[in-house]
């Protein structure tokens, strides 16, 4: 059953309450559709979705925001007042991703997603893997990490590697794990200045440049994080579609 206008007006506070559980609803006019009223924007089919992304990494937050597009508002740990790092004590990417999302859900009550990424190098039996951030020590220094990796692969013909991202989504009491993989190889030396982390030494399959040379636009099309994020969007759509059905 579709609600008529009177029903929508009557339901407005309930819609707001329900949707605000997963959504931030802007009461300002839509910039590209100034004639749309706030009531139109309260349609359960077009809410602005707010989720906490359990990270302090502004680079990653920007990447994910660009991939998600304009319908989503992403808050970071800093936005919700969580300044301290959430300890990553699990021994798998999956375990660490879940641990961070659960922490935010339990402490702050927000629906949340978190991600954990590892660089898995074939000739190193999957290392650095879950230890990617701290490969060269607790300082988590990207330059030292890359240097150690290049040293450990010196003289090695097999340069096959992959980035693997796990996203854990904790939403409406459910937990879901999503995976994105970007296969490639480790370059003989650092190349390029863009990006972050191991980008200067990682060449994705199909390219003869590193992520650091290819730039954000290309990386966002093919990266491990982009693939996992597209799965995240599909999953969020399933939730929001289910919510909308309650009003049909």
Residue given tokens 């989503």 in the structure block: 72
Residue number with the smallest Cβ distance to ligand IMP: 197
Give the closest residue to 68 by CA, choosing from 241, 178, 229, 240: 229
Annotation says 111 is catalytic: no
Contacts to ligand IMP by CB under 6 A: 57, 116-117, 119, 132-133, 142, 145, 195-199, 211, 223, 225
Q: At what angle do helices 58-68 and 224-245 cross, to 10 degrees?
A: 50
Q: Quote the least distance from Cβ 80 to ligand IMP, whole Å.
A: 18
Beta carbon nearer to ligand IMP, 122 or 141? 141
Residue given tokens 């641990």 in the structure block: 99
Q: Quote the least distance from Cβ 133 to ligand IMP, whole Å.
A: 4
Beta carbon nearer to ligand IMP, 167 or 171? 167
Q: Quote the least distance from Cβ 31 to ligand IMP, whole Å.
A: 31
Beta carbon nearer to ligand IMP, 88 or 122? 88
118 and 128 in contact (C-beta within 8 Å)? yes
Beta carbon nearer to ligand IMP, 46 or 191? 191
Q: Which residue of the set 79, 116, 141, 208 is catalytic?
A: 116
166 and 228 in contact (C-beta within 8 Å)? yes
Residue given tokens 């491990």 in the structure block: 224
Q: Quote the least distance from Cβ 199 to ligand IMP, whole Å.
A: 4
Which residue stretches of the chain are H helix? 5-20, 38-41, 58-68, 93-108, 142-152, 211-214, 216-222, 224-245
Kindly list the catalytic residues. Answer: 116
């Amino acid at each position: 059953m579709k609600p008529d206008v009177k029903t929508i007006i009557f339901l407005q506070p309930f819609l707001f309450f329900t949707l605000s559980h997963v959504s931030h609803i802007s009461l300002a006019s839509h910039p590209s559709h100034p004639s749309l009223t706030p009531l139109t924007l309260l349609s359960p089919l077009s809410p602005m979705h707010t989720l906490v992304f359990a990270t302090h990494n502004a680079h990653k937050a920007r990447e994910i925001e660009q991939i998600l597009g304009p319908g989503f508002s992403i808050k970071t740990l800093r936005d919700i007042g969580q300044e301290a790092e959430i300890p990553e004590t699990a021994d798998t990417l999956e375990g660490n991703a879940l641990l961070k999302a659960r922490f935010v859900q339990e402490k702050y009550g927000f629906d949340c997603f978190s991600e954990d990424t590892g660089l898995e190098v074939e000739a190193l039996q999957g290392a650095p893997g879950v230890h990617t951030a701290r490969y060269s020590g607790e300082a988590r220094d990207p330059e030292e990490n890359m240097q150690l990796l290049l040293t450990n692969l010196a003289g090695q013909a097999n340069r096959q590697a992959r980035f693997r991202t796990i996203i854990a989504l904790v939403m409406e009491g459910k937990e879901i794990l999503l995976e994105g993989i970007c296969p490639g190889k480790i370059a003989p030396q650092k190349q390029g200045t863009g990006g972050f982390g191991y980008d200067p030494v990682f060449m994705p399959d199909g390219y003869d440049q590193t992520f650091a040379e290819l730039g954000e636009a290309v990386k966002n099309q093919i990266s491990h994080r982009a693939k996992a994020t597209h799965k995240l969007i599909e999953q969020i759509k399933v939730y929001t579609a289910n919510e909308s059905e309650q009003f049909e």
